[in-house]
Amino acid sequence: MPDYSWPAMEKRKVMGTRVARVDGGQKASGRAKYASDWHRKDLLFAALLSSPHAHARLVSMDLSGAKNMKGVAAVRAIAKPGDEIQWQGAEIAAVAAETEEIARDAVRQIKVEWEVLPHVVSEKDLAAAGTRVKAAGEQVTGDPDQAFKDADATVEGFYGIPVITHCCLEPHGQVVEWPGESINYWPSTQNVSGLATDLGTALKFPPDKIKVHQDHVGGGFGSKFAADRWGVDCANLSKEAGGKPVHYFLERNVELMIAGNRPSAFAKIKVAAKKDGTITAWQSESWSTGGIGGGGSPPLPYVFENIPNQRKKHSAVSINTGGVRAWRAPNHPQASFLTCSALEDLAAKLNMDPTDLFLKNVDLTARAETYKVQIAKAKELIEWQKHWHPRSQLTAGPVKRGLGMSIMTWGGGGHTSECRTSIFPDGSVVVDIGTQDLGTGTRTILNMVVAETLGLPLSAIKVNIGDNALPKSGPSGGSTTVGGVTSSSRKASVNALAKLFDVAAPALGTTADQLEAVDQHIQVKGNPAKNLTWQAACSKLGVNRISETGFNDQRKPEGLNSSGVGGIQMADVSVDTETGKVRMNRFVAVQDVGLVVNPKLAESQVHGACIMGICAALFEERVMDKQTGHVLNPDMEFYKLAGIGDIGEIIAHMDIRPENDKRGVIGLGEPPAVGVVAAIANATANAIGVRVPEVPLTPRRVLEALGGRNA
């Protein structure tokens, strides 16, 4: 069997270097083409009629006003009389017309009669949610009652993190053209290879006749795996319009209402410890919502999963809002926030440095050694010794400074992926793989792995991704892309190179197994003077090309990738106690992800995740009006995200060490997004001396937590 293993750390020439992303120029200059940029001839624009009610029954719908409008090409009812609609923004009918304006005008001509039903849109007050609450059974480990009785110290707290939305800058949608025999589909997706099956199943149309193409995607974060209702309707509108292409993207407000959100999590938590900080018991009563389907339990206690005595109860609250979708490490940010908040409060009660408390209990985690090293590194980078103070000793003046920490873990692994590497007689190399680049740098990583394997410069290789005619690669979820595609492309390229060695060996008077590819040469191992240039070797192919595939089996990574990482994050904030404004000074993320293919891209990924976490810690929240059941901030004005001035300094430290490297490639999409809210909430508590129980940390919440102090 060929040797696919990664070159030793010190021997890598391309991998491990700080290559800038290969499509950066295209993106920065606006030349990158996104799905909504596909302006085909005769393009029609679709507009959606969405539900104005949070809960209602559709009594009747009259589409004639829309159908009779000039310029309207197709009108489709999505809901039908009798249907019970469960959230505002739900799809009711769609129109395709010659212009966006006509489509919107036509939507306004559709008449719907509703029977409005009672709604529930808030889950925070569990008692008020009544029959909407579904409690799961209590889980007990050890003897929590006894442990709480025996404890030297216990803390009790309430903590809450609200529903936030994915808020992808590129909304969900697609262009579809369905002339009859085949379908052309330009989606915004995390799942290029799998999408045709999804759409085909819904349309009862053969998936192999659906051509999917995507060059770039403007954010998915877990919300863009499926063809979705709008993909199906878009295809049907095209068909109804005689096969003309239809452009159908959600408007920002509907995007925020229905295209996915992250479940909330609220919890009453009680933790017990010995005087020295050893945690002895955990008790949590948690609840959450992810829309009508309720919300699953975050994994509690997070990371410190081996606390000996535990009692846990979780309730799911069903409310009339759009449904959840996977959001960058599903349930982990919530779990990290709930757990780390309670532990920081415990440390404060014991008058202990929280880093000491975490270290004291590190053996309750699954990767003690990793966390020990990372805590030390993070402390150094955030200057913990210099800036940390006990919660009882605040800094002087109205603006208070504080530090806080959090902990994270995630899986990763490499998804199933097939790749084809072709070497042509003129020396050119083409890599074909049906994956997608979510902005994480997948194209660049592929380019680097193949360049490394073939001993070529990056520019010698053309990477084709984003099309379902290419070898199939998995959906980008669970941080499995980089593990999958590096493995399949490595194998494909090793296989292709072996074929080239076969051709070159006779000319070099040796056997294929004696050859290696270095610096654009095929040379004899141990005797580099005996060589052929890459070009010369390839020219020996005559009129043939080499085309070899490589396959990553998710269950058999063969040492190229693995799963399971840890990270430590720390925040340094200043809080104006007169205004309740929290400002980021510095944020440190120390992150292990196994073998780091490109530190620059890895750090960039960490930066993005930290920014997203800062948004969630300080600003993001879906605000529901209980009376109308409406979302009040389905826009980017009051659904607040951070701007560059709100971010502060971010230090991303990749935990690159031989013991991490030898585990192979592990995904990084999700891990660094996990602990940000927790670290910032803890830093805020440290700064002002009291816990702000709920995030985002708005001036209102901070001032309320400070209580009468400033009144």
Partner 1 sequence: MQRFAYANPATLKEASGLLGNSWDDAQILAGGTDLLSLMKEGLTAPKLLVNIKNIKELTAIAPEKGGLRIGAAVTLDELAENALVRRQFPALVQAALGITSPQIRNMGTMGGDLCQRPRCWYFRQGHGLLAMRDGKSLIPAGENQYHAILGNSGPAYFVSASSFGPALVALDASMRVVSPSGTRDVPAAQFFVTPKDEASRETVLQPNEILTAIHIPAAAAHSATYEIRQREAIDWPLAAASVVLKSGAPVIVLGHVAPIPWPAPEAGKFLAGKPLNEETATEAAKLALQGAAPLSQNGYKVQLARVSVKRALLAAAKGA
Q: Please give the residue ranges that form the binding site for partner 1 (CB under 8 A).
A: 101, 104-105, 108, 578-581, 618-619, 623-628, 630-635, 637-638, 640-646, 698-700, 703-704, 710-711
Supply φ then ψ for residue 256, to 5 degrees: -75, -20
* Residue with smaller CB distance to partner 1, 369 or 635: 635
Least separation, in Å, of the C-beta of 647 and partner 1? Answer: 9
* Residue with smaller CB distance to partner 1, 29 or 627: 627
Structure tokens at 641: 């995200």
Least separation, in Å, of the C-beta of 541 and partner 1? Answer: 55
* Residue with smaller CB distance to partner 1, 465 or 680: 680
Question: Alpha-carbon distance 52 to 15, whole Å?
Answer: 52
Least separation, in Å, of the C-beta of 604 and partner 1? Answer: 20
Could you tell me which of 300, 38, 14, 328 has the C-alpha nearest to residue 164?
A: 328
* Residue with smaller CB distance to partner 1, 446 or 642: 642
* Burial of residue 426 (number of CB atoms within 10 Å: 0-12, 13-18, 19+): exposed
Cα four-point dihedral sign 370, 371, 372, 378: positive
Query: Are the beta carbons of 705 and 691 closer than 8 angstroms?
Result: yes
Least separation, in Å, of the C-beta of 629 and partner 1? Answer: 12
**Count of other CB atoms within 10 angstroms of residue 20:** 13
3-state secondary structure of 214: coil
The length of the chain is: 711
Alpha helices by DSSP H, listed for 350-410, are 354-360, 368-382, 384-387
Least separation, in Å, of the C-beta of 332 and partner 1? Answer: 26
Would residue 142 be called left, alpha or beta, if left means φ above 0 and alpha means ψ between -120 and 50 degrees? left
DSSP count for the chain of H helices, then E strands: 18, 29
* Residue with smaller CB distance to partner 1, 516 or 646: 646
3-state secondary structure of 258: helix
Least separation, in Å, of the C-beta of 627 and partner 1? Answer: 5
If residue 57 lies in a helix (H) or strand (E), which one and from where to where?
strand 56-62
Structure tokens at 691: 């816990």
Least separation, in Å, of the C-beta of 123 and partner 1? Answer: 15
Least separation, in Å, of the C-beta of 628 and partner 1? Answer: 7
Least separation, in Å, of the C-beta of 700 and partner 1? Answer: 4
* Residue with smaller CB distance to partner 1, 356 or 625: 625
Least separation, in Å, of the C-beta of 398 and partner 1? Answer: 9
Question: Alpha-carbon distance 197 to 614, whole Å?
Answer: 37
Least separation, in Å, of the C-beta of 249 and partner 1? Answer: 15
Least separation, in Å, of the C-beta of 638 and partner 1? Answer: 6
Structure tokens at 134: 């579904």
Cα four-point dihedral sign 689, 690, 693, 699: negative
Structure tokens at 370: 């990793």
What's the CA dihedral at 12, 15, 18, 20 to 10 degrees?
Answer: 140
* Residue with smaller CB distance to partner 1, 463 or 618: 618
Least separation, in Å, of the C-beta of 582 and partner 1? Answer: 9
Query: Are the beta carbons of 431 and 450 closer than 8 angstroms?
Result: yes
Radius of gyration of the chain from Cα atoms? 28
* Residue with smaller CB distance to partner 1, 469 or 632: 632
**Count of other CB atoms within 10 angstroms of residue 201:** 12
3-state secondary structure of 17: coil
DSSP state of 138: P
* Residue with smaller CB distance to partner 1, 395 or 628: 628
* Residue with smaller CB distance to partner 1, 47 or 570: 47
* Residue with smaller CB distance to partner 1, 640 or 662: 640
DSSP state of 602: H
The DSSP bridge partners found for residue 694 are 160
* Residue with smaller CB distance to partner 1, 1 or 711: 711
Could you tell me which of 51, 110, 39 has the C-alpha nearest to residue 75?
A: 110
What is the identity of the amino acid at 112? Answer: V
Question: Alpha-carbon distance 531 to 114, whole Å?
Answer: 79
Least separation, in Å, of the C-beta of 163 and partner 1? Answer: 14
Least separation, in Å, of the C-beta of 535 and partner 1? Answer: 51
DSSP state of 363: G
* Residue with smaller CB distance to partner 1, 545 or 640: 640
Least separation, in Å, of the C-beta of 248 and partner 1? Answer: 18
* Residue with smaller CB distance to partner 1, 46 or 496: 46
* Residue with smaller CB distance to partner 1, 526 or 643: 643
Supply φ then ψ for residue 270, to 5 degrees: -130, 130
* Residue with smaller CB distance to partner 1, 100 or 558: 100
Could you tell me which of 625, 584, 634 has the C-alpha nearest to residue 607?
A: 584
Q: How far does CA 95 lie from the centroid of its chain? A: 32
* Burial of residue 174 (number of CB atoms within 10 Å: 0-12, 13-18, 19+): buried
Least separation, in Å, of the C-beta of 71 and partner 1? Answer: 12
* Residue with smaller CB distance to partner 1, 229 or 640: 640
Supply φ then ψ for residue 419, to 5 degrees: -140, 150
If residue 337 lies in a helix (H) or strand (E), which one and from where to where?
helix 332-349
Question: Alpha-carbon distance 575 to 674, whole Å?
Answer: 23
Question: Alpha-carbon distance 618 to 101, whole Å?
Answer: 37
Cα four-point dihedral sign 149, 150, 154, 158: negative
* Residue with smaller CB distance to partner 1, 349 or 640: 640
Least separation, in Å, of the C-beta of 35 and partner 1? Answer: 22
Question: Alpha-carbon distance 160 to 139, whole Å?
Answer: 21
Q: How far does CA 367 lie from the centroid of its chain? A: 23
